[in-house]
Amino acid sequence: MSLVAGIDIGNATTEVALARVEGKEITFLSTGISATTGIKGTLQNLSGLRQSLGMALERAGFRRDQWGVVDVIRLNRAAPVIGDVAMETVTETVVTESTMIGHNPSTPGGLGVGRGRTVPFEALPSLRPGDPVIPVIPRSVDFTRAAGGIAEALGRGVEVAGAICQADDGVLIVNRLPVGIPIVDEVSAVDRVPLDMKCCVEVAPPGRVVELLSNPYDIATLFDLSPEETRQIVPVARALVGNRSAVVVRTPLGEVRERRIPAGELYIQGPGGKRTVNVEDGAQAIQTTVAASAPVENIFGQPGTHVGGMMERVRRTMSDLTGIPLGEVSIRDLLAVDTLVPQKVVGGVAGEFSLESGVALAVMVKTEELPMQRLAEAVSADLGVPVEVGGVEADMAIRGALTTPGTKRPLAVLDLGAGSSDASFMKEDGTVDLVHLAGAGNMVNTILASELGIEDPDLAESIKRYPLCKAESAFHIRQEDGTVRFFDAPLDPQVFGRVALLHENDLLQPIPLPVTLEKVRAARRKAKKEVFVTNALRALEQVAPAGNVRMLDHVVLVGGSASDFEVPTLITEALSRYGIVAGRGNIRGKEGPRNAVATGLVLSAAG
């Protein structure tokens, strides 16, 4: 009798199944799970492996560091796969150097549109009636002094058409003036607003958004722009769409410049030779080219472009981590998804962004199996336990999935992880066809971060994992499906009136973004469909008999992403059109969709 630990090192988590094996008799004792440390298949995985195995030992009644009781450790055989660092959004970057302010202060002052020449506030007393002006008011000038200075200038006949204010004083100033003027406040970089330049200020009524300054042709009318200058101002107008207040300042001729960094071309090498596709052609064209090149041997990007730089960074990262020469690192699969990419508009003084169409790319990098063997040797030396590199990951997943009650051969399994989506099909005779594809949970995070402007990766992960709601009173919320939930205790005042995430145990996490619930939900579901549903069909087509998905009867979903609250439903709906019964697995009748590969590694040890 021996104690066997099957350890599945994934892109996001490391899972352990601990069992006693006596001949073909297997008794599972416990499981363990922890975050994977480093990129899957590299020596950095050792720390996460120790944590996960220690958890399993403790749950089985041993000490957390009692490694010696384990007779053999079996690792999943998988070439290293780059997950998170390989996913980027690629677009042609158009940078327009104009000057504008387009943020959304909570309480701008006044209403309407004002056009004039920017002047420092201190210059107001010396101005004479004539051309309209827009004073720029720094934080050092309080609202009473600012209102007094503007009122005095208006009294002398100076046409003050609007104002730009650094402090949160817009309403306080306009309430003290004899006439209302539009005032944009909370402009932190007010010192960067150019002076003595043509300027337009627009403040919309509550509940409305700016109309003139979000339309490039209205901007052209206001500033007498030529057709070429109008084309250059498009990123400015696009960045102001949906704002309640905005300012555009026209810089002198020669200061408005445009720089383009092309997205570039992809070169996909397959058995039939090299095929070329431009990233600007979109995700569908890219995926069509990838499919036509199957099985993909390598993918390169055009030098000097966005995609060329991305591909080389991926190769260099893998080479640095594994010690494998750069020329031997191959990109074997790619998933492309159309998305929107916020590009910073150079010259803005409030962090303005223009949404550009882009393509999110996830790539899979495979090397020889040498790195996994090196990891096995390192684990054995560190823990003093014999370590074997077991079966192929997708093969082990299907062995584990077959422990789900109600399953039998033939069976197809989708293993949905963080970095890759794997599919395997076991025929009645026990032979297995399998495939590994790029793109899974991490790519969803990348798309969400891009489209919603999220910089915190933990927030993107939470938006992916949890349903949305909005607190409509101190005691009730409206969930994203429209239903209302009431609470006995009052909610945290910080979530009142805000879009929030509904965690376990009814914990509400407000989302620190100026977005609606509908926009977040639409972005989340779109990202999951375009990653998981696309990859599910792509993978099953490659393992199904004769490449026909309709010839599959049952598909079991396993892996961390299969425990998502809506991914299984999205895939089940898509596969139902092909007459396929699909659902979330329940490994050994108790583990849910997790632990399939680790369980399969133990089962394979018993033959």
Does the pLDDT value for residue 173 go beyond 90?
yes
Sheet of 265-270: strands edge to edge?
A: 273-278, 265-270, 298-301
**In which residue are the tokens 């979000």 written?**
214
How far, CA to CA in Å, does 577 sit from each of 190, 283, 552? 57, 23, 12
Q: What is the pLDDT of residue 233?
A: 78
Residue 433, beta-bridge partner list: 425
511 within 8 A of 498, measured Cβ to Cβ: yes
Spatial separation of the C-alpha atoms in residues 434 and 422, rounded to whole Å? 7
Q: What is the pLDDT of residue 530?
A: 94
**In which residue are the tokens 């079996």 written?**
74
Sign of CA dihedral 489, 491, 497, 501: negative
Tell me which residue of 246, 184, 180, 235 sits closest to 211, measured CA to CA: 246
87 vs 226 pLDDT, higher one = 226
Average pLDDT of span 14-42: 92
Does the pLDDT value for residue 501 go beyond 80?
yes
Region of poorest pLDDT, from 184-198, 261-275, 527-541 = 184-198
Percent of the chain with pLDDT over 70: 90
Spatial separation of the C-alpha atoms in residues 474 and 593, rounded to whole Å? 37
Average pLDDT of span 521-550: 94
Average pLDDT of span 266-294: 92
Spatial separation of the C-alpha atoms in residues 447 and 339, rounded to whole Å? 7
Per-residue pLDDT reduced to its tens digit, 211-223? 898 898 998 898 8
Does the pLDDT value for residue 133 go beyond 90?
yes
Percent of the chain with pLDDT over 90: 54
Tell me which residue of 443, 406, 400 sits closest to 421, measured CA to CA: 443
Does the pLDDT value for residue 93 go beyond 50?
no
Specify the pairing of strand 554-558 against strand 581-584.
Answer: parallel
Average pLDDT of span 130-149: 93
Spatial separation of the C-alpha atoms in residues 64 and 60, rounded to whole Å? 10
Spatial separation of the C-alpha atoms in residues 361 and 369, rounded to whole Å? 25
Spatial separation of the C-alpha atoms in residues 116 and 93, rounded to whole Å? 32
Label residues 474-498 b or e (16+ Cβ within 10 Å = b). Answer: eeebbebeeeeeeeeeebeeebeee
Tell me which residue of 160, 185, 207 sits closest to 101, measured CA to CA: 185
Q: What is the pLDDT of residue 298?
A: 93
Average pLDDT of span 251-278: 76
Q: What is the pLDDT of residue 28?
A: 96
Does the pLDDT value for residue 135 go beyond 60?
yes
**In which residue are the tokens 């790319």 written?**
361
**Top mean-pLDDT range of 30-34, 346-350, 453-457:** 30-34
Average pLDDT of span 353-358: 66
Q: What is the pLDDT of residue 393?
A: 77
Residue type at 88 in one-letter notation: E
Specify the pairing of strand 468-471 against strand 476-479.
Answer: antiparallel
528 within 8 A of 444, measured Cβ to Cβ: yes
Q: What is the pLDDT of residue 248?
A: 86
- Please give the mean pLDDT across all residues of the chain: 86
Does the pLDDT value for residue 96 go beyond 70?
no
How far, CA to CA in Å, does 352 sit from each of 6, 136, 213, 246, 424? 50, 19, 14, 11, 46
Spatial separation of the C-alpha atoms in residues 403 and 407, rounded to whole Å? 7
Q: What is the pLDDT of residue 257?
A: 47
**In which residue are the tokens 């915190």 written?**
456
Per-residue pLDDT reduced to its tens digit, 284-336? 999 999 999 988 999 998 887 878 888 888 888 777 776 778 777 888 899 99
Does the pLDDT value for residue 378 go beyond 90?
yes
Spatial separation of the C-alpha atoms in residues 300 and 46, rounded to whole Å? 31
CB under 8 Å to 373, separation ≥6 — which residues? 389
Distance of CA 463 to the CA centre of its chain: 10
Spatial separation of the C-alpha atoms in residues 68 and 70, rounded to whole Å? 5
Q: What is the pLDDT of residue 344?
A: 58
Spatial separation of the C-alpha atoms in residues 566 and 346, rounded to whole Å? 39
349 vs 106 pLDDT, higher one = 106
**In which residue are the tokens 């070329």 written?**
276
Q: What is the pLDDT of residue 86?
A: 39
Average pLDDT of span 386-409: 89
Q: What is the pLDDT of residue 33?
A: 96
Q: What is the pLDDT of residue 325?
A: 80
Q: Residue 344, CB half-sphere, CA atoms under 13 Å: how many?
A: 6
Task: Determine which helix (DSSP H) or strand (DSSP E) holds 605, and give its type and residue range.
Answer: helix 596-605
Angle (nearest 5°) at CA 466 between 584 and 563: 15
Average pLDDT of span 131-140: 93
Q: What is the pLDDT of residue 308?
A: 84
Backbone φ, ψ for residue 222 (5° rounding): -65, -35
Which long-range contacts link 375-378 to residues 24+ away (Cβ below 8 Å)? 375/9, 375/41, 375/42, 375/43, 375/45, 375/46, 375/75, 376/75, 378/43, 378/46
Does the pLDDT value for residue 91 go beyond 60?
no
Q: What is the pLDDT of residue 574?
A: 95
Token pair of 102, please? 């387009």
Distance of CA 370 to the CA centre of its chain: 32
How far, CA to CA in Å, does 64 sit from each of 36, 44, 53, 69, 511? 18, 20, 8, 11, 38
